[in-house]
Amino acid sequence: MTALMRNRSTTGGFLGTSRQSAAVLLAAAGLALSASNLQAQVREVVWLYAQNCAGCHGANLEGGQTDSLLDDRWIHGRGDDETLFRIIRDGDELNGMPPMKGDLHDAEIRALVVFIREKAAQAKNAQAVHHQPVDGQVVASREHRFRLKTVAEGLATPWSVAWLPDGRLLVTELPGTLRLSERAGSDLKPVAGTPTVRFKGQGGLMDVAPHPGFRTNGWLYLAYAEAGATAETRDSGMTVIARGQIQNQNWTREQTVFRAPGWSYRPGGVHFGCRLVFDAAGHLFFAIGERGHMQDAQDLSRPNGKVHRVFDDGRIPPDNPFVGISNALPSIWSYGHRNPQGLDQHPVTGELWETEHGPRGGDELNLIRRGANYGWPIITYGMNYNGTPITALTSQEGLEQPVVHWTPSIAVCGIAFYHGKRFARWRNNLLVTGLASEELRRVVVEGHRVVEQELLFKGIGRVRDVATGPDGLPYVVLNKPDKVVRLEPE
């Protein structure tokens, strides 16, 4: 590919008029913005591409005066994000690409990189053939042949799966129902008396996890969205962690494990998290999204946008990183997260891995470290949903980098390291779900690097969760259609 080009004679006058008009309107309203903020206010990525790139690379990135941006042929390096950003900004006169840094600020250039990635992926997906299996159909993946089998259907937005030690299956439904099979392999029945949830948008009844010592203590943990308790917070919500026991299909002995201060509840229906993970030492990890208030992810006095760590009864471990720090919640383990909806421990190293939704682009797989800042919204590989930039920064000293980021977004959700024996060559691989992309991926992790990704299937529903069952088989939660399937070796 030759570098990006733009038509100077067409662009210059238009940009000048646009900025002057916006400046006049803002001045009349008594507002003052820097030049870079003004550009971010009035220009979004489709317009930026049309004005600066389409004249040479084509209206649909298909090529024109110069090469297409939809293929994987690159002059400079491997076509990575950093190189593409640099070529747009600084130009490549040898290949006919003028620098754009005089007309575009860095955040806009970042948005163009995301836009190019989106369009290239869409073109590639339109030509690709993906496995879309129905029940009983054999899929030949790289390492194993498998078929799907439906184990539960007719559900209402199932969110997560888990098992009791005797093999009985648990399924949560987002509107608020916890279902449990009466015996291994039987139909799922509702459990009565579970907590009242705030079912709005992305919030409701989310994760379920039995205590590692369930055989002796009977504790079962739930993560759910709760409405505020006062008149001032009634229209707001936050993620709550509770535990209880089940007797004769009834929820009993409920105890609160984590409830945020009432003043921290946020309105809206987005970004609640949440997954539950126990480590070998008896700590409970859980994640809460930033509830649509991106600045909260950096505020240690607020619970949202964080991964938390508590003892199984909610007490604070004394070695948590922010214990004793003024204006910091002591349950916080890491921060700077947008909307974590995947959390699991590596079965060999015990390290905690997390996936979180980016904005438009920049979904992340992270290795979670004690006290670390994962950067949202200071750094991101994505942009706003409306095509305007968030920031030019994808890295900054002191902020963690994702192990992998997906642009365009796959709407990454639940994850699970496969630890069964039925698919021997998948052992310790990470299974990764995608909602909007409707896919299940197999991700090979070596140390702290991803060395391979394989798309196992795509296009049979929104893939919400994945887990290894007691039979050693991967179970997958689908939305639209709302059912649970498992992968069986062929």
Residues 208 and 221: their CA atoms lie apart, in Å, by 6
Give me the count of residues in the chain. Answer: 490
Question: Strand pairing partners for 169?
Answer: 163
Look up 448 and say whether it is catalytic: no
Please say whether the beta carbons of 237 and 306 come within 8 A: no
Report the candidate in 350, 337, 281 with the shortest Cα–Cα distance to residue 308: 337
In the three-class reduction of DSSP (H, G, I as helix; E, B as strand; rest coil), residue 86 is classed as helix
- Edge-to-edge strand order for the sheet containing 138-140? 138-140, 145-153, 483-489, 474-479, 462-468
- Edge-to-edge strand order for the sheet containing 276-278? 276-278, 283-288, 306-311, 332-335
Question: Strand pairing partners for 85?
Answer: none
Residues 216 and 194: their CA atoms lie apart, in Å, by 21
Q: Can you point out the beta strands (E) in 262-362?
A: 266-267, 276-278, 283-288, 306-311, 332-335, 340-345, 352-356
Please say whether the beta carbons of 379 and 394 come within 8 A: yes
Active-site residue, from 271, 308, 357, 405: 271
Question: Strand pairing partners for 242?
Answer: 222, 256
Catalytic residue IDs: 271
